[in-house]
Structure 1
Amino acid sequence: MAMALALAFHGGTAAHATGSSAATAGAATSSTAFNYWVIEGYYSLFECHDRGSFGVSSGWWLSYECEYDAITDSYRLWIERPGNRVICKTDAHAYVVFGRPYFSGYEGDERNGVPTMHVSSGTRVSVGGNGIKPNTSISFKVYNADTGAEVGAVTSRTAGSNCVANETGYTLSFSSGRYLVRATYTSGNSQTTYTDHRVTFIQIS
């Protein structure tokens, strides 16, 4: 049976939803069960197809797509999952942006590993997130990775009905060293709050 396909754009990335009728961006208002698409990770084209097809054959997800991302010069692996009354069109994740988004994974799972951003003192970055519970914000905190001392904090903008916490600027006015950014946020889909989830390391020179 042919299924209707809706394509919505959240924070510059595409999110898909499939069901018995086209889904709209943002909050779901129907009790109809919808399959939904989320970004599983970023890979080379070969790795994307290899992981995508393996996930389908293993029953981890229903289908997959590989979409080129010019910012990261890699391919987004979109995976289709079964769902019901999906609020957000992607799993929750917080990120720090400097040229590209730096984030470790979704819903606190660190599936991508914790990346490291290399910048100089005084660099201005931005912070935000997607898949965030509407009308809530993300609390970012910066720690000295060696001592564990908290050295900075910033709160994102409030997530709208599309679950996107639009980016807000933040200046890294710290001395040379290695720092860790953690985030606390609530998922729009699972309604689970993830506390002090590791987002990225920052190496300041």
Structure 2
Amino acid sequence: MSTLATPRRWGLVPFGLALMASLAVAAQPVQAAGCATAGHVYVRSAAGLHQSGYEGNQQFGVPVVVLSPYGSLALSIGGNGLKKDTQIFYQITKFGDYWYTSNSFRLTGSNCVHNEVSIGSLSASEPGQYLLRASYTAGNTGAPINAESVVLLVVPAIP
């Protein structure tokens, strides 16, 4: 009886190994999900949150913020849907000429979020139009987005 039982047991081993192998393949870790949104950079000020669109499409148009001629406006920059461990590079131009450029000095997290960072304030002491552009790397596509117009800040002259 033991001679008959042994072949049956060994006969089931290949089936059991095949079943375990298929379960092991099915149990492989899932690849990290992409970003929850398309890449975009925004500027926050006391006037609100300003964004022109996603990954350079400018579907919302470039928002215009008019500053009081007697005040100043604190600005911060952030983003969502950006590639992990990348920075936002931004440039502010006045009347189309170079005025200021920098990077955010902060890296995008593994959740595709680039937390806001202060980029200073704009004072009414220098009237003019200031265009803030941003360059970043989209998280889902990996596409480099260069010099995307994010917001136009208008500082009127003191009357």
**Aligned residue-pair number:** 122
One-letter identity of the residue aligned with 1:98:
S
In structure 1, how many angstroms separate the alpha carbons of the residues matched to 2:76 and 2:67? Answer: 13
Cα offsets for 1:133-162 (capped at 9, x unmatched): 010010010011x3x111112322211011
Letter in 1 for 2:140: N
Aligned to 1:93: 40
- Preserved contact between residue 177 and residue 203 of structure 1 (Cα < 8 Å): yes
Partner of 2:89: 139
1:109 alignment partner, SS class = coil
If each structure's strand is expressed as a fraction of its own residues, which one has the higher value? 1
1:123 aligns with 2:73: yes
Answer 1 or 2: higher relative contact order, Cα 8 Å, separation at least 6. 2
Runs of 4+ in 1 over 4 A off after TM superposition: none
Q: How far has the Cα of 1:88 moved from its partner?
A: 0.8
> What is the CA-CA distance between 1:172 and the residue it aligns to?
1.8
User: In 1, distance between residues paired with 2:53 and 2:73?
Assistant: 24
TM-score normalized with structure 2 length? 0.70
Contact 1:181 1:200 in 2 (8 A): yes
Corresponding residue for 1:62? Answer: none
So what's the TM-score if we normalise by structure 1?
0.55
The alpha-carbon deviation at position 122 of structure 1 amounts to 3.6
What CA distance in whole angstroms lies between the structure 2 residues aligned with 1:202 and 1:86? Answer: 36
**Higher helix fraction (1 or 2):** 2
In the alignment, is the contact (CA less than 8 A) between 1:132 and 1:186 conserved in 2?
Answer: yes
CA deviations 1:54-91 (Å, max 9, x no partner) are xxxxxxxxxxxxxxxxxxxxxxxxxxxxxxx6421111
Paired position in structure 1 for 2:30: 30
Question: What does 1:174-193 align with in structure 2 at a 5 Å threshold?
Answer: 175-193=126-144
| Percent identity for Structure 1 against Structure 2 | 36
Higher Cα radius of gyration: 2
Residue 86 of structure 1 contacts residue 189 of structure 1 at CA under 8 Å; is this kept in 2? no
SS of alignment partner, residue 106 of structure 1? coil
| Paired letter, 2:93 | Y
Q: How does 1:1-205 map to 2 (within 5 A)?
A: 30-31=30-31, 86-99=33-46, 100-120=48-68, 122-144=72-94, 146=95, 148-156=96-104, 157-169=106-118, 170-173=120-123, 175-205=126-156
Q: Distance between the aligned counterparts of 1:119 and 1:158, measured in 2?
A: 30
**Deviations 1:113-141 (CA, angstroms, capped at 9, x unpaired):** 11101224642111111111010010010
**In 1: Cα distance, 2:128 partner to 2:42 partner:** 20
CA RMSD of aligned residues (A): 1.7
Secondary structure of the structure 2 residue equivalent to 1:183: strand
Structure 1 portions without partners, runs of 5+ = 1-28, 32-84
Look up the equivalent residue of 1:141 and give its one-letter code. Q
